[in-house]
Structure 1
Amino acid sequence: MAAATPAGPSWADGASDHQVREEIRQLCADDHDYADGTVFNSICSEPFPLAREVFAEHFGANMGDHRIFPSLPRVTTLVTRMLGDLLGAPDAGGVPTSGATEANLLAVLAAVRDARGTGRPRVLLARNAHFSFEKILALLPVEPVWVDLDARFRADTAVFRAALATRPALAVLTSGTSECGAVDDIETLAPYAASVGVPLHVDGASGGFLVPFAREFGHPVSGTGFEIEGVESVSVDPHKYGGAPIPSGYLLVRDPARLEALRSPSHYRGAADHFGLLGTRPGAALLATYAVLRQQGRAGYRAAAREIFRLRSVTLDLLERAGLPVAFAPDLMVVGVSCPDPAAVQREMERRGLIVSVSRRFGFVRLVIQLHQTDAQLASLVDHLAEAVKETSA
């Protein structure tokens, strides 16, 4: 049962530090801790310790004012270079964002502004696209062209290729879909998109820190980044598998000149032009992102990705031993579990204090593998899941 909201004194009178802290404690009493073995639905996790430290030290830094905080454009250059290197283009252009939702919006906005001709520009999307694109379609004057999925919940390659031939203003593929962790066939479709003059954007919010290492570990997924001809932009979320604090997203573009379509001049002499959607925004997040990228390096992220795939293997073995069928062979970090009544299973798991999710569109219990999980916690999860499936199937 959720804790009651404390009444406290009237807002007009204010409150002591002690009272405010106590009210905050009560408000957060039902929150889960990533490390407590109850969270199995989140692509985000606890920031790495150094990120927390740097964020706290610089919480007043404002990305909207580079004259007061000249560190931030310098750090932007460095973070762009590191993320670009991770994704195959150290010379890429980049815009720090609040997350991949904003980065995806900027990618579509750039395509709209670059489009020529009359009518609404068309954007080609597979039906596994993140729901951020539904928000984007409501905000921008574009016409969606939807492509169905194959049996692995990836964009149907043949249908998507045929739709590319109609030359939409932008095509979007996903590396690590939110619901299934699926990786579209970017290596096949991006070069074809380039051949017909269609810029291709990859939503790599979930896969950006995993796919660059997946094939080193024997996982045959498509590449994600600029090493593939035709990939013109990529969104990535360091606050997911990168260990950065929320909010930390990024839009990367192969050709920095493409960012000109996003330039918004300031009204003030000497103030920097904006390329993102937000104005005032926390520079602390960018500094903390730099801190963890610099601390971890490619070697650290390779080790983290290796651990994610190891934990995924542990989960699949536990499910098999428990007689719980998986809904699909996973590409990345999402494991789907088939059962007769997924919604009832989710409710029963929450009654037990465990957070899983259910894909509304595809109808399976969704487990997300993250670094905050341990082998023992995963074993307990599967035990509870097996019991919940049995109870809700009776």
Structure 2
Amino acid sequence: MTQQLKIPATYMRGGTSKGVFFALHDLPESAQQPGAYRDALLLRVIGSPDPYGKHTDGMGGATSSTSKTVILSKSDKADHDVDYLFGQVAIDKPFIDWSGNCGNLTAAVGAFAINNDLVDASRICENGITQVRIWQANIHKTIIAHVPMRDGMVQELGDFELDGVTFPAAEVKVDFLSPVGDGAVLPTGNLVDTLVVPGEGELQASFINAGIPTIFVNASELGYTGAELQDDINNDEQALARFERIRAYGAVQMGLISDIEEAKTRQHTPKIAMVAPASSYVASSGKRIDAADIDVQVRALSMGKLHHAMMGTAAVAIATAAAIEGTLVNLAAGGVARQSLTFGHPSGTLQVGAAVNMLDGQADVHSVSMSRSARRLMEGWVRVPEPELD
């Protein structure tokens, strides 16, 4: 092979993440089906595995927020427009995790689908809001993206500001419908569990299965305030190893894996997050956040590192947990069931809403909503060497 493959692609920001978007029919025929060839191709597009941790020879940004790929196709599901498949690409390992969704990039799915003729023209409005019905193929859930339109074109520019994103853009409202994964919202049946972790002893934990499986622990039990920024955690290898150990044992207790060793090949799920009561702090941008402006502090890790803002799917779990009285998130937020919540994260704040009904002690999550933004950064072709399979 002397020439690179040339594949149509779009580089997009969605929420506080960005990734390389493909239409399924544009991929080489061997990559239109899941398997080793597709994974090898997408790893090479991103530039993984990279022992230098830089993604210099690929489109990735060497962080969990920027090491992402998306494949979209017209949906064959009734009452849906587009199928959305997300791949979280490991940075230093030859591995793509297909086990969960990316809530942030969801905000860009509707725009890409419209711009690439994946939505029937009869459903696209000239001016106003086009609702794109998304089938999230990783977790088999429905998401509605409310995409602003002007003169028949996706409106990307606007004055909506999202903490964690430098420049304003048009607001995209996203509704995650029935976001609970396989099983119950509370997979163990408990609001708070005792999680036994070697080296940690007994920790309180709330396991939430909504948006993305998430393990919530109290920041104070780990010796943190809950107002930490990225450098406070990510520059401490012992702290990162500690969080990963807790995540692995929590994954077993949630029933996601049978042995802690399996966590090494399941980096995207579950997430681990620590919670604390509202407090004042200075965000990574230098913006001061007053305790009165938030209901709770949440810090979450993604792919082994503290996230610079908040994963959209973890925000779904936060909103769900806050609406269920007695979970650690709910208790940290004051102990009152909330249909709307504003939480603090390293880059600022985010407001989320949840419609949750309690029936015979069981939580029925109808939907979780939040506002994000999205923008095309580049479109054209990505060049990539033909994958070499062992």
Tell me, yes or no, whether TM beats 0.5: no
Higher helix share: 1
TM-score band w.r.t. shorter chain: under 0.3
Higher Cα radius of gyration: 1
Q: TM-score, normalised by structure 1?
A: 0.26
